[in-house]
């Protein structure tokens, strides 16, 4: 898949078939995520791969937008470890770049995925931290359920809007 076509064609998928996503594929997704740039190359990301139905349900309970989680074959929780940062405060950007790589890799592999934001909402962070048994200092940024899409593939949409672009100055 051409990179630009992959970027333009990626869509959020919230309905999954029950076909499993094997460990080799999950590793490909994680390798793509970890290929993201990070401030000072500190790589503050940490990942939790979740297949356990009860943990998926508890993660779903922590967010009003995560009802599809219990039906996903696997979810990858992208977390940050701010204490390892060389440039304070950039862990969110670093982990966001890793998440986007993960989403693009899922699309390139014919899988569906969706970015479910937990950070910075305290209740979501607390619920995910408890469900996953995260140690102090590890912050869940988002949860990405991944699976074989059960819904129809949506056509690419051109979201370019020239009114959002300014040249040299505002």
- The residue extents of the domains of the chain are 14-150
CA–CA distance, 54 with 101 (Å, rounded to integer): 27
Give me the sign of the Cα torsion angle 7, 8, 12, 16.
negative
Say if residue 127's pLDDT is above 80: yes
Q: What pTM did the predictor assign?
A: 0.95
Residue 155 banded pLDDT, cuts 50, 70, 90 = confident
Per residue in 7-62, pLDDT (tens digit) is 999 999 999 999 999 999 999 999 999 999 999 999 999 999 999 999 999 999 99
pLDDT at 124: 98
Say if residue 1's pLDDT is above 80: no
pLDDT at 153: 73
What CATH number does domain 14-150 carry, 3.20.80.10, 3.40.50.150, 3.40.109.10, 3.30.390.10? 3.40.109.10
For residue 49, report the phi and psi dihedrals to the nearest 5 degrees.
-90, 125
Per residue in 69-123, pLDDT (tens digit) is 999 999 999 999 999 998 999 999 999 999 999 999 999 999 999 999 999 999 9
**Which pair of structure tokens corresponds to residue 88?**
């304070």
């Amino acid at each position: 898949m051409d990179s630009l076509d992959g970027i333009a064609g990626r869509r959020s998928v919230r309905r999954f078939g029950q076909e499993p996503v094997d460990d080799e594929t999950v590793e490909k997704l994680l390798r793509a995520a970890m290929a993201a740039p990070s401030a000072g190359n500190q790589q503050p990301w940490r990942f939790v791969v979740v297949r356990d139905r009860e943990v998926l349900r508890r993660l779903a309970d922590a967010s009003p937008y995560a009802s599809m989680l219990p039906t996903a074959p696997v979810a990858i929780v992208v977390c940050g470890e701010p204490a390892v940062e060389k440039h304070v405060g950039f862990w969110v950007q670093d982990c966001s770049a890793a998440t986007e790589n993960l989403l693009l890799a899922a699309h390139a592999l014919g899988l569906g995925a969706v970015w479910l934001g937990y950070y910075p909402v305290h209740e979501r962070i607390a619920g995910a931290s408890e469900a996953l048994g995260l140690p102090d200092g590890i912050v869940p940024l988002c949860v990405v359920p991944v699976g074989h899409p059960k819904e129809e593939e949506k056509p690419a949409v051109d979201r370019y809007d020239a009114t959002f672009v300014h040249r040299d100055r505002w």
